[in-house]
Amino acid sequence: MKWHRIVLLCVCGAAFAQQQPPQQQKRDLKIEKLEEPSLPPPPVVPRSYAVVIGIAHYQNLPDKLQLQFSERDAQSINTILISPEGGAFKAENVHVLTGAKATLAGMRREIDTWLPSVAKEGDRVLVYFAGHGFVYQGKGYLAPYDINLDKTAATGFPMDELGVAMGSKIHATYKVLLTDACHSGAITPDETQSLNTTLGNLHSSLFSLTASRDRESSFESPDLDGGHGVFTYYVVQGLAGAADYDGDGLVTADELAEYVHTGVRDATGAKQNPTSDRGTFDPKMRIAYVAANAKPANPPPPQFGTLVFEANKDEVEVLVDGKSVGVVSPGKTLTLPGLAPGQHTVQGLKMGYEPDGPRQETVYPGETGTVSIKILIPRRRKQAAADALQDGIKDYQKGYQQNYQKAAGLFEKALAIDPTYSQAAFYLGLTYNALFDEDKAEQYYKQAIAIDPDYLEARANYGGMLLDIGNVDEAIRQFNTVLVRQPNHADALTMLAQAYRFKALYPQSIESARNARHRGHAQECRTALVARRQPASERPVGRRGARVQPVPEAERFRQ
């Protein structure tokens, strides 16, 4: 018997001008207006469904066969799939099974029953599996949470069953198969070859991308944004836009395969080489939609380089080219492979301190460079700004419309004195949310997050406001960002439960509510769920969302 860790992902115009009849040639000058070339219509995103499965700790397996990052990988896949700058899936169409929920019965319910019941011609289907896989008596299996080694044929999920589901039961047009066999040294090359061959032959109509060639190993690393499988890390980065080589705002199957192959090969020193099989699908099949990537001219794809970040303080947020790429702490580096050669803008941020950067760092093709983030100077506020914030908090805590309006004026004064005052922007978001001015609230929540990307309370409250205005998918993304950084964040869990309820995802809603209750938020969870069932016209004017603590007096000048 052989054991593997597998990550499996399944996803499933031109106008011609009419010629005019020739006209007699004339000598007189005729001025005609040239028609502006019409822009191509925006791409149409197909209706899409996904099942995301991640299992790190198995019920019946010994300690040596437990995994590290499978569930983190599943969370990352879920987040990029429901992002409008990514997979563009609707959150309610992505079913997530992690840990004890990913039983054999649960996997069959989602893959064999749910997906065939909803997917139609023209749709996309995606199935992601992160966990163990094995071959028993010549037959391949995925390992559910409740796999029993003494009854492998009865308790494993047969890969030929997956093939039947994808090939004949699920009638979606777009399907892609990605597999990542991450295994230990106990796995023999012959066993690896057998498993990869089994996966590759599931169904000829699938676009197939496997994490490694026959007889190769797959790897995972704690240095990849807090810990990921190398293959999954590059899949996520590719779907986020890094694989959009031609800059048209679309990530195709061919582009994703090329990006993942190049990135994984470089990151592992050619020890791991993903391979692809297009089957009967067009390599231009659209996998992700990243409109912000579109640009008028595109250089040829360069060879990539790597930056490794280190820091002198705990939980330092790292930004590269204006985008957050992870968190770094002393003794815990952050490795960022797959960067294009040339100058990149890097910055280190920690709440309460002056940032390090932005500054330029050069990436060289095929080389790894180290970037040291130094967070040294506590951020000091002007006394007038700190006083205005504290006075505004006092008015805000009194409640009622007139006090909120007065508080907003004081918070705006504090932010005008110090434009980097993230707490002032945060409280402006809270205050305008309480006044039901969601446009201004969103503006200031985003400003607070832009100043301090690790401001989890701002993200949680912003997500709460998004629930109020009906933008549930973006709210879920904000809550997921908070929970990746702080899994026990009770406020985010409480509101995530409500978000799932709005999407009619009741099992996920119940689970999030229970997790919030276990962290001491039982009454608050019930209150929040009841309050959000009321229409806005029936709610008292006041705070909505997570708890907010006033800024301690001792920190007024060192935020």
Kind and range of the H or E element at 154? helix 152-155
More confident site: 124 or 556: 124
d(CA 481, CA 487): 10
CA atoms within 13 A on the CB side of 13: 7
% of the chain exceeding 90 in pLDDT: 21
Q: How far is the C-alpha of 256 from the C-alpha of 327, rounded, in Å?
A: 25
If you average pLDDT over residues 154-173, what whole number do you get?
Answer: 86
Across the chain, mean pLDDT equals 77
Nearest of 53, 52, 55 to residue 70 by alpha carbon: 55
Cα–Cα distance, 228 to 410 (Å, whole number): 44
Q: CA-based Rg of the chain, rounded to a whole angstrom?
A: 26
Reported as a single tens digit per residue, the pLDDT across 533-554 is 333 333 334 334 444 444 433 3
Residue ranges, comma separated, of all CATH 1.25.40.10 domains in the chain are 383-555
Which of 135-144, 173-182, 240-249 shows the lowest per-residue confidence on average (mean pLDDT)?
Answer: 173-182
pLDDT in tens, 364-389: 777 788 888 988 888 788 889 889 99
Mean pLDDT of 239-244: 89
Q: Please, which residues have CB within 8 angstroms of residue 441's CB and are 6 or more apart in sequence?
A: 428, 429, 430, 431, 432, 433, 465
CATH 2.60.40.1120 region(s) of the chain? 305-373
Which residues, 6+ apart, have CB-to-CB distance to 280 below 8 Å?
204, 205
Mean pLDDT for the stretch of residues 420-445: 92
**Protein fold of 305-373:** Immunoglobulin-like (2.60.40)
Question: Average of pLDDT values for 346-350?
Answer: 88
Residue 394: count of CB within 10 angstroms of its CB: 14
Range with the poorest average pLDDT among 39-48, 107-116, 388-397: 39-48
Q: What is the mean pLDDT of residues 38-49?
A: 70
Evaluate if residue 124 carries a pLDDT over 60. yes
The span from the CA of 506 to the CA of 498, in Å, is 9
Q: Which of 215-224, 291-300, 340-349 has the lowest mean pLDDT?
A: 291-300
- Give the strand order in the sheet containing 342-349: 323-328, 316-320, 342-349, 356-363
pLDDT at residue 515, rounded to an integer: 82
* Predicted local distance difference test score (pLDDT) of residue 537: 37
* Residue 138: both structure tokens together: 């010549």
pTM of the model: 0.63
pLDDT at 33 over 70: no
Rounded to the nearest angstrom, the gap between the alpha carbon of residue 118 and the centroid of all alpha carbons in its chain is 24
**CATH code at 2-12+44-293:** 3.40.50.1460
> Does the pLDDT of residue 28 top 80, yes or no?
no
> Measured between alpha carbons, how far is 241 from 85 in angstroms, rounded to an integer?
8
Q: Where in the chain are all domains bearing CATH 3.40.50.1460? A: 2-12+44-293
Mean pLDDT of 516-531: 49
Residue 539's CB: how many other CB atoms inside 10 A?
13
Percent of the chain scoring above 70 in pLDDT: 76
414 pLDDT tier (thresholds 50, 70, 90): very high
The predicted model gives 200-222 an average pLDDT of 66
CA–CA gap between residue 251 and residue 260 (Å, rounded): 12
Select the highest-mean-pLDDT range: 38-47, 117-126, 156-165, 177-186.
Answer: 117-126
Could you say which DSSP state residue 26 is in? -
Which class in CATH covers the domain with range 383-555?
Answer: mainly alpha
Helices (H), 292-437: 383-398, 401-417, 422-434
Asked if the bond preceding 302 is cis, omega within 30° of 0, the reply is no
User: Would the CA dihedral through 113, 254, 70, 518 be positive or negative?
Assistant: negative
Strand partners, 347: 319
Question: What are the phi and psi torsion angles at 185 (to 5°)?
Answer: -65, -10
CA gap 115, 9 in Å, rounded:
14
Q: Is the pLDDT of residue 187 over 60?
A: no
Q: For residue 198, what pLDDT band results from cuts at 50, 70 and 90?
A: low
